[in-house]
A and B are shown apart, each in its own frame.
Chain A
Amino acid sequence: MSTYDRAGPRHNPARRQALSCLAAWSGAAVVWTVTGGVPRALGATTAGPTTEGAASALTFVQISDTHIGFNKQANPDVVGSLRHAIAEINALPRAPAFVVHTGDVSHLSRPEEFGQAREVLQEIHVDRVHTIPGEHDTIDDGVTGYLKFFDHDGNGKAWYSFDHGGVHFIGLNNVLNFKMGTMAALGDEQIAWMKGDLARVSNSTPIVVLGHIPLWTVWEPWGWGTADSAQAMALLRRFGSVTVLNGHIHQVLQKVEGNIALHTAMSLAYPLPTPGQAGIGEPGPVTVSAGELGKVLGTRQLTVARGRHELALIDTPLAG
């Protein structure tokens, strides 16, 4: 699956100081807060202390689409971009409980890319980084190569769930099970697992779902959707607060369906066109000028506050 323990020095005064300096010139992270049910973004990390962060609230950070191994024109230094984001996360005034990575950890599913990604992610000052696979992590042999680096609990699946601070988290793999000419899907086995997993969760428990490709159809001609997402949404409908965090499309979009709020995130590698953007025709990396790249890459901070239906979300570009 999913998570691993962080390694390396946790408190290094010199390093902290350096990170603070970095934080002074850019704001990179988006903090999620879950208070009483609904994750809400708190605002840019450079915007000063957040107002929503009650002491009891659970705060975590979402990063996505690091594409370690990519080195083309659109971003020759994706490791640098990831490290920039890590510096921002480590400099947050209130440390997040953990980080979630919503897929496309690597660019080409190569072992050295997974290895480097795992090493760099360990520089984040959190106990856990929960990852899910993107389609770039499953290119040659499904999730096998990915799981060699990111199967923390050893169950041999890329999907999992865990509970933290009264919130039930579910990580999904929606980058396989495609049929020719269709969008990728969760598949029957995973949907059955999800049904069983949710059966023990009360309606009032806030749910946070991680899935790489959006769980709603953003733009079908580009595969920006999950073929069987309706089945997953049906399982989530009875809960009072559901937040779905996606990656894949390298930009922030949002959709609300009843109690279910779906959010895509920025990438840390390169921007993609807007859905079906006129004059482009395909969802390939968009090259922007060097000074502009930091404005279209970024992270997200979330806070779950007790008694609140929505999570607080802050999407923060690396620079800008």
Chain B
Amino acid sequence: MNEALSRNTSRSLRGGVVLALAVGTAFVMPAILAAAAPALTVDVNIAKFAYGPKEITVAPGTKIVWTNHDQTPHTVTSNDKSFASKGLDTDDKFEHTFTSEGDFSYICTVHPYMTGVVHVRKQ
């Protein structure tokens, strides 16, 4: 279900960009359309006991969706406790929307040597 949501969001985002371009060319209220653009969704894969990408920079409001592709369970657990997944079995997903700027490091509590970081920056 999360996967479906994430796919839909990506699709509507692409649609939105195309629409904004088309409408922008026609000089019709581009500002309003831009404001209505859906928040960006970014995927991070968990595979072979690593987050991919391990380090990522996104804009505030971005939703990150982690998907575990391993046969081994992993978690996505921030060091500042601002977000924490349950144990993710194979193909399970976890998502978190980053609203404020900052650097958010996280680990897998099952394998604490697995580390990742999300940099949230206005772009």
CB within 8 Å of B: which residues of A? 70, 72-74, 107-109, 135-136, 139-140, 178-184, 221-223, 281-285
Tell me if B27 counts as interface (CB < 8 A to partner A). no
**Complex CA–CA separation, A285 to B73 (angstroms):** 11
Q: Are B89 and A74 in contact (CB under 8 A)?
A: no
Partner of B110, one of A72, A136, A282, A285: A136
Q: Are A284 and B70 in contact (CB under 8 A)?
A: yes
Chain A residues, CB < 8 A from B87: 108-109, 139-140
Given contacts A72-B71, A73-B71, A140-B87, contact A181 B107 (CB under 8 A): yes
Chain B residues, CB < 8 A from A285: 71-72
- Closest approach, in angstroms, between the C-beta of A221 and any C-beta of chain B? 7
Chain B residues, CB < 8 A from A222: 49, 113
Q: Are A72 and B90 in contact (CB under 8 A)?
A: yes
Q: Are B49 and A184 in contact (CB under 8 A)?
A: no
Q: Are B112 and A108 in contact (CB under 8 A)?
A: no
B contacts with A: majority SS: loop
- Closest approach, in angstroms, between the C-beta of B95 and any C-beta of chain A? 17
**Complex CA–CA separation, A275 to B37 (angstroms):** 49
Chain A residues, CB < 8 A from B48: 281-282, 284
Chain B residues, CB < 8 A from A73: 71
Tell me if B13 counts as interface (CB < 8 A to partner A). no
Please classify how large the interface on chain B is, using the bins under 10, 10 to 19, 20 to 34, 35 or more: 20 to 34
Q: What residue in chain A is nearest B75 (Cβ atoms)?
A: A139
Chain A residues, CB < 8 A from B72: 283-285
Tell me if B105 counts as interface (CB < 8 A to partner A). yes
- Closest approach, in angstroms, between the C-beta of B72 and any C-beta of chain A? 5
Q: A181-B113, A223-B112, A223-B113 are in contact. List 20 more A-B contacts (CB 8 A).
A: A73-B71, A108-B73, A108-B87, A136-B110, A139-B73, A139-B75, A139-B86, A139-B87, A179-B112, A180-B112, A181-B107, A181-B115, A182-B113, A183-B112, A222-B49, A223-B111, A282-B48, A283-B72, A284-B49, A285-B71
- Closest approach, in angstroms, between the C-beta of A182 and any C-beta of chain B? 6
Tell me if B79 counts as interface (CB < 8 A to partner A). yes
Chain B residues, CB < 8 A from A284: 48-49, 70-72
Q: Are A180 and B90 in contact (CB under 8 A)?
A: no
Chain A residues, CB < 8 A from B86: 139-140
Interface residues of B in 73-123 (CB under 8 A from A): 73, 75, 79, 86-87, 89-90, 105, 107, 109-113, 115
**Complex CA–CA separation, A139 to B112 (angstroms):** 12
Chain A residues, CB < 8 A from B109: 139, 178
**Complex CA–CA separation, A183 to B115 (angstroms):** 12
**Complex CA–CA separation, A107 to B70 (angstroms):** 13
Chain A residues, CB < 8 A from B70: 282, 284
Q: Give a binary string over B30-63; 1 marks a CB under 8 Å from any A CB, 0 the rest.
A: 0000000000000000001110000000000000
- Closest approach, in angstroms, between the C-beta of A49 and any C-beta of chain B? 40
Chain B residues, CB < 8 A from A223: 111-113
- Closest approach, in angstroms, between the C-beta of B89 and any C-beta of chain A? 6
Q: Are A181 and B73 in contact (CB under 8 A)?
A: no
Q: What residue in chain A is nearest B50 (Cβ atoms)?
A: A282
Q: What residue in chain B is nearest A281 (Cβ atoms)?
A: B48
Chain B residues, CB < 8 A from A179: 112
Q: Are B71 and A74 in contact (CB under 8 A)?
A: yes
